[in-house]
Structures are given as C-alpha cells and as structure tokens.
Structure 1
C-alpha cells in the first residue's frame, strides 16, 4: 500500500515538473520569437539637399499663383526655402534681397509629369537607351531611377524653360513598364541627390498599340483584349501575394512562427498600388480604352493618377472628373499612328471646362524646354473655340494639376504660404512666345539666372575632355 502511494506521488511530481517545464519552454519560445520580417519600402531614399538661398522679395510683378489666382502689380516674399507671403504688397524684412520685377511675371515652377530625361538622354545613342525593359509584358519590378544618367544635358535645358520638377518614367512597350520617380530639377552628381523627398513612386502602364506591336510576335498579348487580360491577371496575382503577406503578419501577431513569404519584386510593386502607396500613370490614347481601364481600376480597387497622351480625353471628360483621374496631354500632337488620329486642338481646355484635372506634359526632350508655350497654344485654341478660360486658370495645367497627379501638391505646385519656393521670374507674359525664364528658384535657391551665363549649370558630358596638349 505504501509502495503504491509512493509511486503515485512520484508520478504526480513528474507530471507537475513536466507541466512547469512546458510552461517555461513556452515562455522561452515567446522571448526568442524571430523578429517579424518587414519590407523596406524606401530602400533608395533621397539624399537631396536644397541649394542655399536668401530672403528675397520680388516686387511690381504680375503673379499667377498656380491655383487660379492672379495678382496685378504684386509682390512675393520667400525665405528659408518656403513661400512666406504674396499679395498686392508685403512687408519687406530688413536684409532681404529686393528685385524690381516691373513688367515681368512670376509663376510657380513648371512640373512635367511625363519625361524620359536621364533614361533616354542626349546624345541619343543605343548605349544610352535605358527606358524600355522589353523582355516581358509585365516588368513592374524595374525602377526608372536605376537608369537615370544625371549628366543628361536635357536637365539643364529644361531648367532654362522654367521646369523645377519632373516625373521620369520607363517607356511604353510593356503592359507594366516599371516604377517612375519624381525629381527636383537641380543638377547634381547622382539620381538620389535629385530625388524629390517624400514623393510617392508611380508605376508606368501602357495600353493600346505599343504592347501589341512589341509582344504580338513574342507570345502576346497581340490584341487589345489580350492587353486587358494581362492587366487583370497581374492584378489578381498581386491580390494573392498581398493576402500571403497579410496572413504572415496575422500569424506572427497571433504568436505563431510563420514562414516568411518569398519576395516577388514585380508583385511587390503592384501591391503598393493596391495599398494606395504607388500612383498609376497610364499611356493611353483612345477614349474607349481609358474607359475600360477605369473599369479595371474599379474592379481591383486602385486609383489611376493620370492618363498620359490621352488625345481623346475630350470625349470622356465627364468620366475623368467622376473618377478623379487626371489627363496629361499634348497641345497638338496627333496623327503619327492610328490611335493618335482622332484629337482636337481644344482637347486640354475641353477637359478643364468639364471640371476634370487637365495637365500639359512633354514626353520630349525638346518640348520640355517650352511647356509654357505648349500651354499657351492649348489656351488660345480654347479661347478661339469659345471656351473662356483665364491665363490664371490655365497655369494650373503646368503646376498645381501636375503636382496633384504626382502626389506632391502639399509641398509644391502653387504659390502659397508654407510651400516650397519653387518659382520662375519671367521676362514678360509667359503665354507669349517671346518670353523667357529669367530666374528659376527651387526651394528658394537661385538655380538658373539668364543674366549670368557663367553660373549656368553645365553637364559634365558637355564639358568635353582635356588632352595633354591642352593643359597648358
């Protein structure tokens, strides 16, 4: 009897010890749980530093504020990189540089939503051609910023045309061409030194003839219906990838030790769109295709920031307004291929008049040098057609609306107190072909002064080489 009791006591003791050991093991597992894996969403951060500026007041100028306002004989004061005040008169602080702008105009700096500077730089030779990764229809994993050549002389030429910021995109060969990047047009040594701090990434998509032409003989897509099927499959794959990461995080928070999903850089970019962190910019000409793409947008619950080129936007301007989609357009390019055939010169003002977000863009290393004149052409064509839009309203096509489509309007795109002092002093009415940008400021720093050629930024590539015989 005693032996039996002793045996039972021993068994209970061992069970108790085992239970305590089990509890202790669980606590140790909690303490040694692997750190949760998180993806760095900004692995290539901006290293931009503003060019130092000084407190400046420009007086006696006509001011277009970029959001529809006009001030005659006004003044603008900026300091420490920001707009401080503007109006018919402003207080001039002691020590400020005062510029008499009699007969001149001031506007926000021009923002180009569609540029390939740096990825298709000058001189235009094959070794410099880095804009299209034409290896498969979906290359969302590539980044335009990784191909930007900062020594492209086009940056300085755009600066002389009043361009203070621009979006650099991959080309339009693919359904998904890759990530875009927004730059400040400040000449520097590296892409990172030009990168607009905090600007969201974009993704370049393309519909219509280009993907058909490139991939029709490479396994497809070869039709417009094949294009749409390709977008939908990619978005569906992205949703599955998104769910795998959501499950991983949920399991981790529940105290489990889940396996980290395998990273897929292509789908990672697309998930960034689905989560509202990356903005879609879509090469698309025809009204019917833009409408289909807005249907796909609604199906997969993402937002298109802007249709680019969009020569038939005037046909669906009401739909663009309803869906909060901008339209980045040329003033008068047309007819160079079938999908570019059915435009009108009043396209831009018609989109604006319908209450949609109209943008003037370049898609050209030459056009970017005179975007003010491109806007002027569209504005005057609208006036002749009876679309009464003021110059102050039309300037939104070059600054505020581009900034909105790029997700940087809180920082730039208009002359408002607290925003970056990105502005241009023009020699006269900027809607005149005779007017030139005299001074260009970025973050309040004077980056370009037409009166001081010795201070003009020059690409290292254009400086040439010095041989032994020349170094005397």
Structure 2
C-alpha cells in the first residue's frame, strides 16, 4: 500500500501543479495563428497551449561527456542550466553559479532531450483496444480538418514509459496514415497534464499528416471508392490542393468566404505556417510528391518511414527535405521490401537531413539504440560517421523538422533546458537515462521512486479497504 500511496501523492501533486494549466489564461501562440484566414475573422488558434514548466532549480553537471546535438562533443565537460534555460555547455573551467545543485557526471553522458518526430501516443494509447483507437478518421481520403490533439489522451501510460526509458522530452503526435491527408499533428512536451493543451509545446507549428502509397489506396479501394491506385492517390491530392489554392486566392483578395475547416489547414500549409509531414516509402513516390509540392506551392518538411530514401538522397538534400527513418524495419509490406539497414548512413553521407523515429509505443523507448544500429550498419559498409553526429539524428534534426530548433534540440545557451543524463554512452545497448530534465525541472530520476511518473490510469481502482 505504501508504494501506491506514494504514487498517488505524486499524481495529486502533479495535478495540483498543473491546475493553472487547464484551458485558460495563456498567451502562448502557434505560428499557425499568423496565416491568412485570420484576416477573414477566423480564429486559427482556438486551442492554445497552456503549458507551463514545472519548477526546477539551478543545476550543474560536471565531469560529464557532452554531446551538444549539433555534432559537437566535449569530454570532461560542464553543463549549467537555471530558470528553465541552458546557461553554458563547456569544459571544466565553466563557471558554476552560487547555490546550484552540482551533480558529478563522471563516466556518464549528457545530451539534449530526445525528440520523436513520429509518434501515435495518446491517439493509439495503451491499452490498445477499439475504445481507445482514435488515430485514423478513415471516413474520407482527405480529412485535413481533423486535429490529432482532439484525440490525445494525456493519461496514456506510454508517455511516462517514453520519458523514463527513452529520455523523450518532446514528441509529435500524428494522425494515422489511412488517408491521403490525415489531419493536423501536434507537438507536445512530455509532461504530466490533465489536458492536452497543458502538454502543447508553446509556439510549435502544426503539421499536416499526409500519406502516399499502399495505405490510402488499400483502405478506400477495398470500399470500392477512389483512390484505389497510386494514380488515384495523386489525382485526389491534386484536386484537393487545387481547391485550396483557389480558397487562398479568395482570402488574399479580401473576398468573403464561408468558413471551411479543411481549407483552413491547407491554406496554413500554402502560407508556410503548417509543416507537411508525409508518410511515404518508395523513392519514386517521394520524387513525385516533391514535384506536386512545387506544382501547388508548398514544401514537404519530412518524409516519414522513407525506406527507399537512400535512392534519392541527393534530391532530398537539394530540396531541403528531411528523411525520418527506422534503423532496420523492412519487408512487412511490399513497399517496404527494398529497405536496407544502411539507409540512414547513406543519407548522412550524401548531406541529407537524417532523423531516427519510432512510429511505435515500444520503439520510442530506445531511439538511442536505433540510432546506434543505423550508425553501426553505415560503418560496416565503410561510411565513417561520428557518434556526435548520430546523436543529432534523435535530438537536433527532429527539432529542426518540427520548427522548434530555435527552442530545443541542442545544448546551446538560451534554449530550453531539456536534458538527459545517461548512465553510460547513449549509443550503447547497456545505457539508459539516469535523469531527465524538461525546461530545467527534474521529471525523472532512476534513483528516486518519487520521480518515476505514473499515469492516473495505472493507479487502478481502490479496494474496499483502501477507502478512508
């Protein structure tokens, strides 16, 4: 009973702390709020972030190996943060402010917080039952009007697992890939909150989840509807983008238009305020999608899964499109057949933007190990990539592709103090997070059971004898 009581106390303390973060009183805004529909009187940010950082104190980690997320490494380094921000990341001579908690990092490693660009936590939560399956609005091939945040269940136990086992401090929650346009994604800080708005990363752009290939044509073709082929996929996409371009022209000209939630999202993309995150496997389709983006005047921020990205690494580089990939998933369907484990290394070698992502509630807990596998596969074929560069695959690069690299993703002074202290080299299968800070607040400590966050859902129902 004592363990359960402690967990309840932690949950109650968390709820009390977040009481001011429910649904009101925030001035946080998303870049999407600046898109054109606002000129027509539409509120494009009706569900603003109410996130507030948990409290933390000045902290210094000394004698630690630092990976800064942008390719830098400092041995026997010192990392200092205070007031929720990084203050310094330097060598042993770095000044430590008076009153700071000093942690000896000898034999340990510090990195920026881990960021997963592709997650379905909260929309496909655990337990994975039909009642909780809220990730695919599979009723029409284009549903840009739906928002993933309206399905996110903040009590999903997967959030705390990702924090404790994977060092995940931020993550993008996406709709599923049944649809060509699946809806808006949302970027979250991985903290306990009673509401999804209390988790929303302040100032992070929305994303538009798109999908090409087998999934949309399988879902709708099986119902005798369009699209049932890849050419049908492109036809439906192009027809929808053509409508969005016309809608935007009317808005830009000042004409009165009827409010259209789907078109608002697409105009946000055309205006550059909403980022396209595109599920796509085959190289030929990725190339076609980039051409379609040029046809209608938008930009693909990242292709997700992208198992054949190695075939068009130069095109991705030249078009400034990131590839968010697995280390070695392959063969589970036809369009994944030509995947190779050297994908990430070949992309890096060509100068393209590489991201290691999960798309899985378990793999999100070991993105560091997935990056290590991809790194080792590259080295075995003779591509030398530094450990420090590979760290960026799950820290800085996803932050860049989410439009939040100015706020997090690397250990640069002034950024959010999102930090993981690993008990060994994070690219080792034997290492795991020892401590995790989010905005300078210690959110997980392996040595302190009171810092092992537990979802309300996991606390269970009280027995008759427990009720006082």
Same fold (TM over 0.5): yes
- Partner of 1:190, secondary structure, is coil
Is 1:231 the counterpart of 2:237? The answer is: yes
Structure 1 match to 2:3: none
Q: Which position in structure 2 is the counterpart of 1:42? A: 45
Q: Give yes or no for the alignment of 1:304 onto 2:274.
A: no
Q: Deviations over 1:357-387 (max 9, x none)?
A: 0000000000000110000000111111111
- Poorly superposed stretches of 4+, deviation over 4 Å: none
Structure 1 residues 276-314: Cα deviation after superposition (integer angstroms, max 9, x where no partner) = 000000000000000000000111111111000000000
> Highest CA radius of gyration, 1 or 2?
1
Match of 2:456 in 1: 460
In the TM superposition, 1:14-413 aligns within 5 A as 37-89=40-92, 90-160=94-164, 161-216=166-221, 217-248=223-254, 260-413=256-409
TM-score in terms of structure 2 length: 0.90
CA-to-aligned-CA distance 1:78-130 (integer Å, 9 cap, x gap):
01111111111210111110000000000001100000000000000000000
Task: State how many pairs are aligned.
Answer: 428
Instruction: Report the TM-score, using the length of structure 1 for normalisation.
Output: 0.89
Whole-Å Cα distance in 1 between the matches of residues 39 and 241 of structure 2? 26
Structure 2 CA distance for aligned equivalents of residues 467 and 381 of structure 1: 52
For residues 217-274 of structure 1, what are the alpha-carbon distances to aligned partners after superposition, in whole Å with 9 as ceiling and x for unaligned?
241100000001111111100011111212226xxxxxxxxxx310110011001000
Secondary structure of the structure 2 residue equivalent to 1:225? helix
Can you list the C-alpha shifts for 1:423-469, whole angstroms capped at 9, x where unaligned? 10000100111101000011111010010112211011100011333
Distance 1:322 1:144 in 2: 31
Per the alignment, in what secondary structure is the counterpart of residue 106 of structure 2? coil
Displacement of 1:194 after TM fit?
0.4
Over the aligned positions, Cα root-mean-square deviation in angstroms equals 1.1
What is the alpha-carbon distance in structure 2 between the residues aligned to residue 66 and residue 312 of structure 1? 26
5+ residue gaps in structure 2?
1-37
- 5+ unaligned residues in a row in structure 1: which ranges? 1-34, 250-259
Separation in 1 of the partners of 2:118 and 2:138?
19
* Offset of residue 208 of structure 1: 0.2
1:32-85 Cα deviation digits (max 9, x unpaired): xxx974221211000001011111110000000000000011110001111111
